[in-house]
Amino acid sequence: MLIRPKAGILDPQGVAVERALPALGFADVANVRVGRLVELEVEDASQLQAMCESLLANPLVEDYEVQLLNGSG
């Protein structure tokens, strides 16, 4: 699952990265947003959305995106 700060919500980690990069010599960087990546194996993929809403993401301030890999299917 990819979990991102919602558009319009302040992202302090993103702001910190955006300020730090020019000091390290990286120019022309904009719109830095820092989110989370949660990877797991589960039998029943239909549970993933509920997992995000009840534990992995904060639906007030974060959006989540579920991606399936069907690894060991």
Q: Which residues bind a second copy (CB under 8 A)?
A: 2-4, 14, 17-18, 20-21, 24, 26-44, 47, 50-51, 54-56
CA distances from 45 to 2, 10, 23, 24 (A): 15, 31, 43, 41
Q: Considering the complex, what minimum distance in angstroms separates the CB of residue 65 from a second copy?
A: 10
Q: Considering the complex, what minimum distance in angstroms separates the CB of residue 3 from a second copy?
A: 7
Residue (6 or 51) nearer to a second copy, CB:
51
Q: Considering the complex, what minimum distance in angstroms separates the CB of residue 70 from a second copy?
A: 15
CA angle, 51 then 47 then 42, to 5°: 95
Strand partners, 65: 2
